Amino acid sequence: MALRTTTTERQRRLGAELRKLRERAGLTVSDGGASINMGRVHLTHVERGHTAISTERLRALCQTYGCTSSTYVDALVRLSESKGKGWWSGYKGKLSPAALDLAELEASAEGLRSYESLFIPGLFQTEDYTRSIFNADDEITSQEAIDSAVRFRMERQAILTGQPPAEVHAVVHEAALHMRFGGTAVIRKQLLRLIELAENPRITIQVLPFTTEGVSTLSTPFFMLTSHGKALDTVLTETPSGSLYLHDDDSIAKYRRQFDRLRAAALPPVDTSIAPAAHDSRDSLGLIQYVLYTL
């Protein structure tokens, strides 16, 4: 079988998980390969995501490595058997591979956790707000590229209403409410969109106010996805050199703790079901409404 010239995050993740299992079992690549009648070089390519592995061999390999969690093994099988095709396939060659990887990950996600410091999360953005961001992007210069990027982000939002819809919890820094992308009318529409989205029982939106103390070290935005029966988590962070996907145990534990600290420090979630007179203390809805009033 020919080796893949490019690999997706899903393919790399499968290989990384198999390598992690092998190393935990204290086995070499040669040991693992021999257990399923596969050469050392062949298994190395599997662990790097450069080639596929059959379901039979995958399950046998997990057994060799002493993995007893059927939920986890089934999750690996789903990663392996997935064709990686979906609505995002139409954007291949138009957007970065990292963007397509994100859409594929979101399609199988059951839970999404997000922290943003300067932008409204992409899944919550209005079209005008998104377009204003890409219009200011130095790397996306042609109108055709901007139109594709905007359409792609709008299509990603289908997971909010899909069947079953993903459960989304976002913490947004107050600074993001004040950033002027597209002018006052665009920002007003965007903030009203946040309030509208919060009416969805599967969407939780909290605002982290400027007055919050003790979270200065948590200023880097991140996006966490839980998928495959919660057996696999992925964290996405954006860097100047591109998107970085993290899924090692230490990183996942670190970002889970960070999100727990952020949501504990943030104001109570936006809740439109509470009567105005009952808002007797600061909450996220009140802060968003205040910013709307001052625009």
Domain assignment of residue 4, yes or no: no
Query: Prior bond to 268 cis, omega within 30?
Result: no
Q: Which of 35, 60, 81 is the last residue of a domain?
A: 81
Within this chain, do residues 169 and 47 fall inside the same structural domain, yes or no? no
pLDDT at 274: 75
Domain assignment of residue 2, yes or no: no
Round to whole Å and give the CA distance between 103 and 184. Answer: 30
Within this chain, do residues 93 and 72 fall inside the same structural domain, yes or no? no
pLDDT at 261: 93
Amino acid present at 99: A
pLDDT at 275: 67
pLDDT at 213: 80
Q: Provide the CATH number for the domain around residue 158.
A: 3.30.870
Within this chain, do residues 66 and 94 fall inside the same structural domain, yes or no? no
Within this chain, do residues 62 and 111 fall inside the same structural domain, yes or no? no
Q: Which DSSP string corresponds to 25-60? A: TT--HHHHHHHTT--HHHHHHHHTTSS---HHHHHH
Within this chain, do residues 172 and 93 fall inside the same structural domain, yes or no? yes
Domain assignment of residue 70, yes or no: yes
Domain assignment of residue 98, yes or no: yes
Q: What are phi and psi of 27, to 5 degrees?
A: -105, 150
Within this chain, do residues 199 and 261 fall inside the same structural domain, yes or no? yes
Within this chain, do residues 116 and 75 fall inside the same structural domain, yes or no? no
Domain assignment of residue 3, yes or no: no
Domain assignment of residue 1, yes or no: no
pLDDT at 278: 64
Contacts of 153 (CB under 8 A, 6+ apart): 122, 125, 130
Q: Which of 55, 81, 107 is the last residue of a domain?
A: 81
Contacts of 99 (CB under 8 A, 6+ apart): 88, 91, 152, 243
Within this chain, do residues 71 and 120 fall inside the same structural domain, yes or no? no
Within this chain, do residues 212 and 249 fall inside the same structural domain, yes or no? yes
pLDDT at 165: 79
Domain assignment of residue 125, yes or no: yes
Within this chain, do residues 60 and 143 fall inside the same structural domain, yes or no? no
Q: Provide the CATH number for the domain around residue 34.
A: 1.10.260.40
Partners of 170 in the beta sheet? Answer: 114, 205
Domain assignment of residue 251, yes or no: yes
Q: Which of 81, 109, 129 is the last residue of a domain?
A: 81
In this structure, the number of other CB atoms found within 10 A of the CB of residue 204 comes to: 19
Within this chain, do residues 143 and 246 fall inside the same structural domain, yes or no? yes
| Secondary structure (3-state) at 284 | helix
Q: What is the mean pLDDT of each run of 10 residues along the chain (295 residues)?
A: 86 96 96 95 96 96 94 94 94 92 93 95 97 85 91 96 88 95 94 96 96 72 89 90 89 93 94 71 92 93
Domain count, the chain: 2
Domain residues for the domain of 270 are 87-294
Contacts of 168 (CB under 8 A, 6+ apart): 111, 112, 113, 114, 123, 160, 202, 203, 204
Round to whole Å and give the CA distance between 186 and 132. Answer: 9
Within this chain, do residues 71 and 94 fall inside the same structural domain, yes or no? no
